[in-house]
């Protein structure tokens, strides 16, 4: 049978968003530096980005709020580092 290494998932994720690989690398660097987690905000209508973040282990926290400049609703996402 095929051996699953997770490499296909990483490639597929990177294909969804050019930023996915960079986000994963930054998280790994921060975890090695001793950080225990991170947070980011994403527009709730940006389903593609949300899919990438959730695939990388980010989870929505709280309720959406309007962006201070655009007024568009955005959601806070958090990720705990377990490396």
Residue with tokens 């790994």: 28
Rounded Cα distance, 2 and 54, in Å: 26
Residue 15: pLDDT above 70?
no
Q: What is the pLDDT of residues 26-73, one digit of tens each?
A: 888 999 999 999 999 999 999 988 998 998 899 999 999 999 999 999
CA-to-CA dists, residue 32 to 2, 39, 41, 65, 76, angstroms: 31, 17, 23, 32, 23
């Amino acid at each position: 049978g095929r051996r699953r290494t997770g490499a296909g998932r990483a490639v597929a994720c990177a294909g969804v968003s050019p930023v996915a690989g960079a986000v994963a690398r930054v998280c790994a660097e921060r975890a090695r530096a001793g950080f225990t987690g991170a947070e980011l905000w994403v527009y709730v209508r940006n389903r593609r980005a949300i899919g990438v973040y959730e695939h990388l282990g980010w989870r929505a926290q709280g309720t959406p709020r309007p962006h201070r400049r655009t007024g568009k609703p955005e959601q806070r996402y958090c990720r705990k580092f377990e490396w």
